[in-house]
Amino acid sequence: MSSVDDWQAVILTLQLALITGGLLLIFALPLAWWLAGWRSRMKTLVLAIVALPLVLPPTVLGFYLLLAFAPDSGIGEAWQWLTGEQLAFSFSALVLGSLLYSLPFAVQPLYTGFEQLDRRYLDAAATLGMSRIARYRHVVFPLIRPHLLIAFGLTVAHTIGEFGVVLMIGGNIPGETQVLSIALYDHVEALDYPRAHAMALALLGFSFVLLMALYQLSRKPRGAGA
Amino acid sequence: MKLIASLKVSTDFTLDAQLSTNDDCQFLGVMGPSGAGKSSLLRVLANLEPASSYQCSWTSPSSRIGLVFQDSLLFPHLDVAGNLALAQRYAKSNSDASEIFQGCQCEALLERQVTYLSGGERQRVALCRALVNSPDILLLDEAFSAMDNALSQQVQQFLRRYCLKHGINVIMVSHDISALALYCDELASMKGGRIIRSGPVNQMLNNVTSDQAENTVAVLSGPALEFDEAHQITPFLCEDQVLYARHPFVEDGQAKITVDPRDVSIDLAQQHASSILNGFTCEVRALRPAAAGQVLVRLARGQSQLFALISELSASRMKLQAGDTVTARFKLR
C-alpha cells in the first residue's frame, strides 16, 4: 500500500466525517426538537432506539446493515434501481451506515439543548412579530449554539474513529471505502509499524485538537445563559 | 372595547372572561388574586395559546399585540442594544426610538449584557423592546413589579403619555392597585378565571367592600397648582381644598394621587397642629366593620371619596357616625 493510498484514506475519511456531520445535523435537529417537546409514554422507547448505537457492538449494526444493503435485499435493490450502482461496499453505504452509527452523538446534545431551552423565549419572539423561521434563526439556533457545535463535532470525531461498521459494510477498497482506521489496521497486519505509528499519532492528535476546539467554542459567551 | 376570551387551562381551571368597556377606555387595568387567570388572559389575547378562542373588538388579524412578560424574557444571547434592534427590525412601523429609550430610561443600559441587569432594569428594557416594536395593543403582565416606586411612576407616566399619543391600547395586569387606579381608565377584577366586576376606576374603587379594605385605594384629583420649588411639593385643588403631593400624576393640568385607607387618620377638630400636611374636610358616609377589630370608614366630599381604615376602639371613642363632618389626614407621598 502506497502513501498515495494513505492520503486517499485521509481525504475519504474527512469527506465521510463532514458529510455525515452535516447530514446528521439536518436530520437530528427536527428529531431532537420533536423529542424534547413530545409528552408521551412512547418517548422512552424512541429515545432508547436512538441511543442503541451507543451500546451496540459496531459489528452487530454493521452485520445487519450489510444484510440490508445486499443487492438482493429490498433496500439494496431499490438503491440499484435508483442509481444503477450497488449499495454494499460503496461510499454511499459508508455514509448511510455512519448516519445510523453516529445518530445518538448528534441527537443527544441537541435534545439536551432543546430540553434546557426556555421555550417562552419563542413566545417573546412571536409577540415581536417574528415568523416561525425568524424565531429559529434569531432565538433558537443562537441559544443552542453550543449544543449544535458539540453535536457536529462529536459526530465528525466519532465518524473518523469508526471501524467495525465500516469494515462490515465498506470492505477495504482504496479510494472508495478504505478510511483511516481501516488503513491503519492494514498497516498493522502488514507489520508496517512506522506508517501505522504515523497514522495512529495523526489520528490521536487530530481527535484531541478537535475535542479541545469543540469545548472551547461551545463555552457559553460571557453573560449568556439566563 | 369588547373582549371575550376562553381557554381550558387544566381539567379544573377554565378561563372564561367577558368584558365590555366604554369606547374611550384606552387603558384597562386587570386585578385579582394570584391564580385568578390574569396572565392566562394576556397569553390568550397575545395569541400564544393555540387551544384558546378570543374575540376582541380592537384587534384585527393584522394587529400587532405586544406583551411584556413578568419575567421580561430578554434574549440572553444578545445585549440590550441587540434585543432592541431585533424588536425594531420586526416592528410594524417606525417608532421614535430615542423618545422610547429615554422614557423607559434605557439609554445608559444599551451596551450592557442582559444577564447582568437588575430586575428593574430588565423590566425597563422589556417595556422598551415592546414599544420600539410598534404594537397596536400592548399587554403588560406585572411589568413594573421589580422597579422602585419613584422609577416605576416615572416610567408608567411616560408609558401613558406615549400610548395616548400613538393610539396604543393597553391592558395592564398588576397587583399594584395604586398604579392601576392612577394610570388606567377602567378596571376589571378577576377571580377563578372570570371577570367578576369591571367599570370606570372611580366606580370600581367606590364600591369596595369591607373585606377588600386592605387592598384598595381612593383617588383624589383636581387642578394642579404651581410647583413649590422650595419645598419640592406640588399643591393641587380637590373639592376647593388644597392638598399636597410629592409626585402626583399630572395629565392635562389635573393632578391625581391615590390614598391608601391605612394611611388615613380621622380628626374631629378642624384646626389641628400636626406635621401631617394633608387635611381634607369631608363627611362620614358609612362605617363598616372590617377584619381584625377595624372599621372601614367611607368619607366623601362632592364627587370625591376616600376611605379610612381605623380601629373599632378609635371609632367608638370618637363616637363616629354617618353624617359627622371630620378632617381626614394623610401623609404626603
Whether B77 sits inside 8 A of A226 (CB atoms) is no
**pLDDT score, position A221:** 52
Which of A8-22, A85-99, A170-184, B317-331 shows the lowest per-residue confidence on average (mean pLDDT)?
A170-184
Rounded CA separation B316/B312 (Å): 6
Average pLDDT, chain A: 87
Question: By three-state DSSP, how is residue A18 classified?
Answer: helix
Which one of A117, A119, A121, A127 makes the best mutation probe of the B interface by having the most chain B beta carbons within 10 Å?
A: A127
- Mean pLDDT, rounded, for A143-171: 88
pLDDT of B6 reads: 73
**Is pLDDT of A226 > 50?**
no
Quote the pLDDT of residue B28: 92
- The fold of A3-217 is MetI-like fold (1.10.3720)
Amino acid at B49: E
pLDDT at A99 over 90: yes
| Grid coordinates of B214 | 386592605
Rg (CA), chain B: 22
Residue B43 near residue B199 (C-beta atoms within 8 A): no
Predicted local confidence at residue B271, as pLDDT: 65
The answer to whether A51 and A103 are in contact (CB under 8 A) is no
How is residue A78 written as a grid cell?
431499490
Q: How crowded is the C-beta side of B86, counted as CA atoms within 13 Å?
A: 25
Interface of A with B (CB under 8 A): 118, 120-121, 123-130, 134, 138-139, 142-143, 145, 221-226
B221 neighbors B256 (Cβ within 8 angstroms): yes
Q: Does B119 touch chain A (CB under 8 A)?
A: no
Amino acid at B296: L
Q: Is the pLDDT of residue A123 over 60?
A: yes
Residue spans of the domains in chain A: they are 3-217
Q: In this structure, are strands B241-245 and B53-56 parallel, antiparallel, or unpaired? A: unpaired
A interface mutation test: which of B75, B115, B141 has the most A CBs within 10 A?
B75
- Partners of A226 on chain B (C-beta within 8 Å) are 74, 76, 114-115
Beta pairing, strands B241-245 & B234-238: antiparallel
E-strand ranges in chain A read: none
Which helix or strand (DSSP H or E) is residue B10 part of? strand B2-10
Give burial (CB, 10 Å; 0-12/13-18/19+) of B318. middle
Q: Are B278 and B331 in contact (CB under 8 A)?
A: yes
Q: How far apart are the first and last CA of chain B?
A: 33
Residue among B66, B77, B115 minimizing CB distance to A127: B66
Which residues of chain B register pLDDT less than 70? 10-11, 58-61, 208-214, 270-272
Partner residue opposite B133 with nearest CB, options A121, A129, A145: A129
The span from the CA of B16 to the CA of B102, in Å, is 38
Interface ipTM > 0.95: no
pLDDT class of A49 with cuts at 50, 70, 90: very high
- Which residues in chain A are contacts of B113 at CB distance < 8 A? 222-224
Q: Which amino acid is at B62?
A: S
Q: How confident is the model at residue A224 (pLDDT cuts 50, 70, 90)?
A: very low
Contact list in B for residue A127 (CB cut-off 8 A) is 46, 48, 65-67, 130
Chain A nearest-CA distance from B75, in A, is 7
pLDDT over 60 (residue A117): yes
Q: How far apart are CA A223 and CA B149, in angstroms?
A: 28
The span from the CA of A69 to the CA of A52, in Å, is 20
The reported pLDDT for the residue numbered A225 is 43
B297: closest CA of chain A, how far (Å): 45
Question: In the structure, what pLDDT confidence band is assigned to residue A112 with cuts at 50, 70 and 90?
Answer: very high
For residue B178, give the nearest of B256, B235, B258 by alpha carbon.
Answer: B258
Chain B residues with beta carbon closer than 8 angstroms to that of A129? 64, 90-92, 133
- Name residue B55's amino acid: Q
In Å, how far are B202, B286, B299 from B206, measured between CA atoms? 6, 12, 10
DSSP label of B101: H
What pLDDT score does B140 carry? 95
| Closest among B82, A73, B312, B162 to A65, alpha carbons compared | A73
B67 CB neighbours in chain A (<8 A) are 123-124, 127
Domains and CATH numbers, chain B: 2-206 (3.40.50.300), 210-330 (2.40.50.100)
In this model, does residue A43 exceed pLDDT 70?
Answer: yes
Q: Which residue has 400610548 as its cell numbers?
A: B163
Residue among B2, B134, B18, B142 at smallest CA distance from B65: B134
Minimum distance, in Å, between the CA of residue A139 and any CA atom of chain B: 7
Strands B186-191 and B241-245: unpaired
Q: Does B91 touch chain A (CB under 8 A)?
A: yes
